[in-house]
Amino acid sequence: MTTVAPPPAAVRHATTATYAAFIGSGFAFASWAARIPQVRDRLELDPAALGLVLLAIAAGSVLALPLSGPVVTRVGSARTVAAMAVLAGVGLTTAALGSLVGVAPVVVGLFLLGFAEGAWDVAMNVQGTVVERHLGKSIMSRFHGGWSLGTVAGALAGSAMVWLRVPVAAHLSAAAVLVVAGVVWHTRHFVPDHDDAAAAGGDNPPPGGALAAWREPRTLLIGLFVLTFAFAEGVGNDWISVAAIDGHHLSPALGTLAFAGFLTAMTAGRWFGPALLDRYGRAPVVRVLSLIGIVGVLLFVLGPAPGYAYAGALLWGFGTSLGFPVGMSAGGDEPRRAAARVSVIASIGYCAFLAGPPAIGFLGEHVSVLRATASVAVLLGLAVVIADSIRPPR
């Protein structure tokens, strides 16, 4: 039995709810990240030990991403986001209270948080593709901008809690309650994932299950496309400040300013980019942005003066702003397979978030961090070549 398309008012409510899901995810993650120094000090962790503790988040996400496709296909994006918001709240609270006890409960809490964030990410992107189809215009990048807004809010709230000397356990427990209550309430307004299945050719997903998406050439190519932008974004987030300070000999404050410029340009691109996508199409816009990103990276690396580094960081951020969200939209072009394909694409793309920053660190030991970031230009060049993979199927 198929359902009719939701009325415009329901789609508007679903749009707001999807923003809430993205913002809540970013807020939960940044709330934890803002208190890492205090947890480190309380548990007396050296850098190596802290790195191993933080690896629990990555381990949870890596496990959740490939499993989330079948789960979302079976129970829907609304229930998945609601359940993962609750699990993220449990993980945050466990890590918060664990910081008063020892390392083991913190690791368990972070694993739960990472698992929840991974599955939550896939489910909210699936709902984003559904909303985008019903609106008839590109909006996915703005949802991802909402995630960035959530991280900024979480970081600012965390800074305020540190300044006010609020204990980690109290802060993160309160953040968990806020996220769970807000996100679970909003998921009531999600629209069904398969409401247009009849138009797509049937009531049920095609045979083969969610794992069949791993054998689809187009899906794998989109995953590779997303990986290139995930690498560019991850390296920018983790290494621009270090590269500006060490490579261009800027002060810590001015080096951080280059990073702020990168984030500002990326957020602006995600907010204003939908108009370009609707007018010119995905592939042409993202191909041009990839070229802008390449210019920005090379300007950042090879510029002879600090001014070039700032300009390069801006172009780098703007050039990489739309690739990841547009790839998610491409994965959801066909509603009946959206959950499976978004899961595969996210799994491939997040490999770059996990492996990219350490790879730059390894290269930086041999050629300097600044020169190592030039590798971003190489992967963005690959994105230019395979950009046609994100065109909507005929």
On whether both 298 and 357 belong to a single domain, the answer is yes
On whether both 22 and 155 belong to a single domain, the answer is yes
Nearest Cα to 394, choosing from 322, 334, 327, 315?
Answer: 334
Please report the pLDDT score of residue 200 as a whole number: 42
> Count of domains in the chain?
2
Residue 202 lies in a domain: no
Residue 221: give its domain's CATH number: 1.20.1250.20
On whether both 104 and 242 belong to a single domain, the answer is no
CA 297 vs. chain centroid, Å, equals 21
Reported as a single tens digit per residue, the pLDDT across 76-134 is 999 999 999 999 999 999 999 998 988 999 999 999 999 999 999 989 999 998 998 89
Please report the pLDDT score of residue 206 as a whole number: 52
Percentage of the residues of the chain whose pLDDT score is greater than 90: 45
Nearest Cα to 109, choosing from 89, 81, 82?
Answer: 89
On whether both 218 and 184 belong to a single domain, the answer is no
On whether both 184 and 239 belong to a single domain, the answer is no
| pLDDT at position 208 over 60 | no
Reported as a single tens digit per residue, the pLDDT across 178-190 is 999 999 999 999 9
Please report the pLDDT score of residue 120 as a whole number: 95
Reported as a single tens digit per residue, the pLDDT across 262-292 is 888 888 899 899 999 989 999 999 999 999 9
Section 179-208 average pLDDT: 71
Residue 114 lies in a domain: yes
Please report the pLDDT score of residue 212 as a whole number: 81
How far apart CA 240 and CA 164 sit, in angstroms, is: 30
Please report the pLDDT score of residue 195 as a whole number: 54
How far apart CA 133 and CA 140 sit, in angstroms, is: 10
CA 217 vs. chain centroid, Å, equals 23
Please report the pLDDT score of residue 114 as a whole number: 92
Q: Which helix (H) or strand (E) holds 97?
A: helix 77-98
On whether both 248 and 106 belong to a single domain, the answer is no
| pLDDT at position 30 over 70 | yes
Instruction: Give the residue, 314 or 306, on which the prediction is more confident.
Output: 314
Residue 3 lies in a domain: no
Residue 343's alpha-carbon distances to 151, 218, 236, in angstroms, are 22, 14, 24
Residue 235 lies in a domain: yes
User: Which of these three, 159, 194, 229, is where a domain ends?
Assistant: 194
Please report the pLDDT score of residue 189 as a whole number: 95
Q: Which helix (H) or strand (E) holds 353?
A: helix 338-367
On whether both 126 and 185 belong to a single domain, the answer is yes
Binning pLDDT at 50, 70 and 90, where does residue 210 land? low
- Ranges 11-15, 74-78, 199-203, 372-376: which has the least confidence: 199-203
Residue 199 lies in a domain: no
- 54-58, 192-196, 339-343, 378-382: which is most confident: 378-382
Please report the pLDDT score of residue 199 as a whole number: 42
Q: Please say whether the beta carbons of 154 and 26 come within 8 A.
A: yes
Please report the pLDDT score of residue 93 as a whole number: 95
On whether both 20 and 169 belong to a single domain, the answer is yes
Reported as a single tens digit per residue, the pLDDT across 214-250 is 889 999 999 999 999 999 988 887 788 888 888 888 8
Percentage of the residues of the chain whose pLDDT score is greater than 70: 94
Please report the pLDDT score of residue 323 as a whole number: 93
Across the chain, mean pLDDT equals 87
Tell me how crowded residue 251 is: count the other CB atoms within 10 A of its CB: 10
Binning pLDDT at 50, 70 and 90, where does residue 25 land? very high
Reported as a single tens digit per residue, the pLDDT across 323-338 is 999 998 898 888 778 8
| Residue 318 domain boundaries | 210-390
Q: Which helix (H) or strand (E) holds 66?
A: helix 47-75
On whether both 21 and 137 belong to a single domain, the answer is yes
Instruction: Give the residue, 365 or 187, on which the prediction is more confident.
Output: 187
Residue 286 lies in a domain: yes
How far apart CA 106 and CA 269 sit, in angstroms, is: 36
Residue 203 lies in a domain: no
User: Which of these three, 143, 168, 194, is where a domain ends?
Assistant: 194
Sign of the C-alpha dihedral, residues 27, 109, 54, 357? negative
On whether both 337 and 219 belong to a single domain, the answer is yes
On whether both 178 and 216 belong to a single domain, the answer is no
Instruction: Give the residue, 38 or 177, on which the prediction is more confident.
Output: 177
On whether both 38 and 110 belong to a single domain, the answer is yes
User: Which of these three, 194, 223, 238, is where a domain ends?
Assistant: 194
| pLDDT at position 31 over 80 | yes
Residue 341 lies in a domain: yes
